[in-house]
Amino acid sequence: MSVITLGGMSGGGARILGPLVAEKLGADYVDRIFLSQVAKELGATVEALHQREERPPTRSERWFRVIQRILERSSVTGAGGDPYFGPGVAAFLTEEYEDIPQPTITRGHELEDDEYIEAIHNTMRDMAEEGNVVFVGRGGHVILNDMPNVLRVGVVAHTEDRVSNLMGRENLDHDTALSLIESRDQARAYYFRKFFELEDPDRPDLYHLTLNTSEVSLDYAADLVIEALGALEEGKITGAINS
């Protein structure tokens, strides 16, 4: 049951590496953009799912079910928002760190921190238990670190390469991309301190291995991740962090 988490700062290459790894494995690729797109189609699909119970769900329909559980859990914990992932647990999964609504983290009367983290943890565990999935971001390397079948990979790059990646991906000029990277780094650091009590979310000991996409080609990096996954399955790599 292939489960891989790729973590690292914005522009480090995880969003490029993730789809490559997923394609080589024939696995699902999940990041915040994927989750947002699925959520926007959820309303029309729920009815279709109810009408098709007589046959096994397709991969897309299986993910619709996962998203539906996310929304239901958000509602139960008091973190629900609009149907397209407004404020709450779902926002953590689908927004850039700097765009997550402040009420999610500042209004103690709306949701206690431990409830928030429990909901996020359970949501990602639901996805991991589905298996055959590659996660990018969302703190998966911390949230799923007690699951022995999850390979945790850090992805880093030199600052200028991160800037170049962001310029190409989001059609930005150099200075805007650099400024955005700085703000995303700060926002990401804040959330890991707030919700995971981690000063350094990219500590090497939080990952099985870390790849520098400035020094290693993406195609070779994908091969290294798949090789490491095989080593995990063979017991050559320890699967879970003892807590």
DSSP 8-state symbol, 114: H
Give the C-alpha separation, 218 to 18, whole Å.
10
pLDDT the model gives residue 29: 84
Cα 174 to its chain centre, rounded Å, is: 26
Rg (the chain; Cα; Å): 18
List, by residue range, all CATH 3.40.50.300 domains of the chain. Answer: 1-27+131-243
User: What DSSP letter does each residue of 171-218 carry, written as one string?
Assistant: T--HHHHHHHHHHHHHHHHHHHHHHH--S-TT-GGGSSEEEETTTS-H
pLDDT the model gives residue 153: 96
pLDDT the model gives residue 71: 56
Position 243 pLDDT exceeds 60: no
**Angle ∠(99,3,180) on CA atoms, nearest 5:** 25
pLDDT tens-digit map of 114-141: 655 666 677 678 778 878 889 888 788 9
Confidence band for 73, pLDDT divided at 50, 70 and 90: low
pLDDT the model gives residue 40: 58
pLDDT the model gives residue 45: 47
Mean pLDDT estimate for the chain: 75
pTM for this predicted structure: 0.73
pLDDT tens-digit map of 10-65: 899 998 999 999 999 998 887 766 666 655 555 444 444 444 444 455 555 566 66
In this structure, are strands 209-212 and 150-156 parallel, antiparallel, or unpaired? parallel
CATH topology of domain 1-27+131-243: Rossmann fold (3.40.50)
